[in-house]
Amino acid sequence: MCHLGWNHVYNFRLVNNQTKRARTALTIAGSDCSGGAGLEADLKTFTAHHVYGMAAVTCVVAENPRKVVSIHPVPSKIVCQQMKCCLEGMGSVSVKTGMLYSASIIRAVKKSISNFEFLISHLIVDPVMVATSGRRLLEKNAIRALKDLMGEHADLVTPNLDEAEILAERKIRSESQMETAAHLISQRFSCAVLLKGGHLEDRRRASDFLWNGRQGLWLRSARVHGIRTHGTGCVYSAAITANLASGRSLTVSVQRAKRFLTTAIRRAHKFGPWMALKVE
């Protein structure tokens, strides 16, 4: 399996030269010790987009691209304290959520977002429910709390097909069904939806559908074969968050994030104890 390739855009120019202010983004997510997903992937993506990244850790996860070994949730009080330390005294911050895991953590995040909503320019919710390896990353009794967070605060949600089926309460097997599901989710939670179609049985292309509540846009790229990826959803939502933090519109942010992710997949690094990571 592979980690995504980062080095094609990695540098440390974090300040917008036009406004002379630091562009900042906060990820609220689990920590992936192997570095390919979770807040580690988010922070790399922020930096690749010249955005200063901060992180509130929700869970410590022992994993690699092939398996999740164990999950240790952080106490919800500590999650709140991390968010407060990152947000208080800051200017406008773009925020994304990843793995939230439990109802208590989600409620703590929701409370903190309410307290600092005047400082949050955008909230992107990646409704992480299941790892690529198949391990559940959201407790069953936390789905209601996640829906409440989305409905009250999210500007954009970024479900994959499996997550969208839960949120829309219907099967999705085609592009037309993706459009219908995106409309339903948007209406239900009063936010824009980026429905990721990478798991559709289309060997030619990877197609995602953006619905902003008024109009839709298909984003398509040639499918990259021979690579089993890890952390694509994290990187996609983080790239959108970073572009929004840089002052771009939602549509442009999603388009740029799609291109960034496709390039990262094409340049993915092999991961495993039997081979070294390629460093360029």
Residues designated catalytic: 196, 229, 231-234
Distance CA 280, CA 270 (A): 13
User: Virtual CA dihedral for 153, 157, 163, 164, nearest 10 degrees?
Assistant: 110
Kindly give the residue spans of alpha helices, DSSP state H, lying in the chain: 38-48, 76-87, 103-115, 143-153, 161-168, 175-189, 232-245, 250-266
Distances in whole angstroms, Cα of residue 68 to Cα of each of 34, 127, 130, 214: 11, 18, 11, 39
Q: Which amino acid is at 113?
A: I
Distance CA 146, CA 156 (A): 13
User: Virtual CA dihedral for 252, 253, 258, 263, nearest 10 degrees?
Assistant: 100
Distance CA 41, CA 230 (A): 10
Contact 40, 64 (CB under 8 A): no
Could you tell me which of 267, 259, 254, 240 has the C-alpha nearest to residue 27? 240
